[in-house]
Each structure stands twice: as structure tokens, then as C-alpha cells.
Amino acid sequence: MEKVAIVTGATSGIGYETCLSLARDGFYTFATVRDVKKAEKILQIAKKENLKIEIIELDVDDEKSISTAIQKILSKKQQIDVLVNNAGWGLFGSVEDVPLKNFRAQFETNFFGIISIIQKVAPVMRKQKSGVIVNISSVAGRIGFPGSPAYISSKFALEGLSESLRYELGQFGVKVVIIEPGVIKTNFFSSMKIAEPKPDSPYKEITEKVIMGVKMMAELGTPPSEVATTILKAIKEKDPKPRYIVGNDAQMFLEAKRAKTDTEFENYLKKELFPS
């Protein structure tokens, strides 16, 4: 039977490439976007290559939009084999400079919206006794650094959620996978939001250094198609691992984290990020 996939945030970057990879592999793919006008490019490719990609409107920040989208999908296809929780964005600025409402907005998309989608899709997968939920975390979901605590903590939260969910759903034959990309060359860095530092903020310099650093790394970033390839590989494995790392940068940092004590790693990261 034809397999069915849902991907959030399909307008660009990792979500866009993942939709194409899944559809090229034969999945009937629901490419969800918050603004359907931005789906023209993917629709053109789908038409040209005769891919089964259907656009569904879904804003991860809007509970009603999520319910409507999942209901629409279930009225068309009675099964869901793969859910890729990809939609997300980055908020930069120190803990003291980011207003609490902006911290919450970051968590709304990168964390709470994902819970809401899972609450609607997991019962379907549980009844099927099959399915894979792929959560797009980040190397920033395992390593904290200054300048982006809202983004980092939203991804740390997603890691914890995914680990718990893996046990809860695993007993019903539903798999949960975390993807941890390093720096990927996408629109992420042009869409990221930067909190205005307070006039007397002592964090302006360190935040600017981090933003400049990640933007420079992004120029040489891993292509999003590599993340899509890893996602496809993970969902096709009989027993997928809990985590898949993508990119040499992510591999290097996470290997160092595994090999060192917390204090050793902190000193290592300070030297890597802020060489004197």
C-alpha cells in the first residue's frame, strides 16, 4: 500500500528537500506550509517529476490550523506512516535581552506546536501499530552556548520530549527519531530574529560575535538535501537509532562532548567559539 508522509515547514530548506526526497521515494507526501503562496516552487517540481505532493495549510503556532490540517489529511488518507516535525525558526539574544513573550513565541513553534501535532497523529499511528515520527532538533539541542538561549532551550526541550516519546510509543510499534543537523545552508539565517539588546546590555558584544560566527559558518554549511537523505535513511531502517547527526561540524562538536567531562567541554567550546 502507498505510504503517507506529512512534513511541516515545506516552503524551504530542510522541509522542502525532505518533501522531495520522500515523494521521489514513492511516499504520498503532504507538504504543509503556513502560507500556500510560498508553495509554488515545490508544486512546479512535483508536476514536472510527477510526484505525489499535496499542499496543506498548517501554521504550527495555531492550534485550530493544526486540527484542520490533520483532519483534512485523514479524510483523504486513512493512514499516516511518517511525520516530520521540521518547521522552526531561530531567536537570537541573551536571556536578559529577550522579552519573555518572545521566548514563549520561540517555544510555541519549536516545541508546543510539535506536541500539538503529535497529540493528533500519534493515536493514528498507535492504532496502525506502525509509523515514524521524526523531530528536527539541532546540534543546539545538545550543546548550549551564549547568544541564542531561547532557540537552544527549545531544542533541548524537543530532545527530552522525543526521548520520552520513544519509550511511550515504542511499545506500540511507533518509532521516534531525532535529527541533529549542524549548520545547514538554508533560509534559517536570513529568517532568524534578533532581540534588540537593552540600551545598557552587557551581552551585545558576545551575541553579535555568535551571530556573526553562525552566519559565516552558514556560507559553508551542509546542503539541506543531506539532511533529507539522512531522514529517508532513518525512516527506512527497521530499528532506527534514537539520534542521527548531520554535518561534519555537528559530528565534531558532539564527539568532543561525548569524550570530555562537562568542564573540559566548556573550556574546549570557549576556545572554539571565542579564540583569543
Ligand X SMILES: NC(=O)c1ccc[n+]([C@@H]2O[C@H](COP(=O)([O-])OP(=O)(O)OC[C@H]3O[C@@H](n4cnc5c(N)ncnc54)[C@H](OP(=O)(O)O)[C@@H]3O)[C@@H](O)[C@H]2O)c1
The interface region with ligand X, picked from 86-94, 99-107, 161-169, 194-202 by CB under 6 A, is 86-94
- Please report, for residues 95, 192, 199, 205, 208, the alpha-carbon distance to residue 202 in angstroms, rounded to integers and kept in the order given: 11, 22, 9, 7, 11
Interface with ligand X includes 61 (CB under 6 A)? yes
Distance (Å, whole) CA 74 – CA 95 = 41
Among 28, 151, 203, 244, the active-site one is 151
- CB nearer to ligand X: give 198 or 218: 218
Interface with ligand X includes 111 (CB under 6 A)? no
| DSSP states along 112-174 | IHHHHHHHHHHHHHHHHT--EEEEE--GGGT---TT-HHHHHHHHHHHHHHHHHHHHHHTTT-
* Nearest distance from C-beta of residue 45 to ligand X, angstroms: 15
- CB nearer to ligand X: give 115 or 127: 115
The set of cell numbers assigned to 89 is 525558526
HSE value, Cβ hemisphere, 13 Å, CA-based, for 47: 7
The interface region with ligand X, picked from 9-17, 120-128, 161-169, 228-236 by CB under 6 A, is 9-17
- CB nearer to ligand X: give 193 or 198: 193
The set of cell numbers assigned to 130 is 506502525
Interface with ligand X includes 93 (CB under 6 A)? no
What residue has cell string 518509532? 175
- Please report, for residues 53, 248, 254, 256, the alpha-carbon distance to residue 251 in angstroms, rounded to integers and kept in the order given: 32, 5, 5, 9
Site for ligand X in 175-204 (CB under 6 A): 181, 183-184, 186-188, 191
Active site residue 268: no
Residues 213 and 269 sit within 8 Å (Cβ to Cβ): no
* Residue count, binding to ligand X (CB under 6 A): 30
The interface region with ligand X, picked from 56-64, 67-75, 194-202, 267-275 by CB under 6 A, is 56-64
Residues that bind ligand X (CB under 6 A): 8-15, 34-35, 38, 59-61, 86-89, 109, 136, 138, 181, 183-184, 186-188, 191, 221, 224
Positions annotated as catalytic residues are: 151
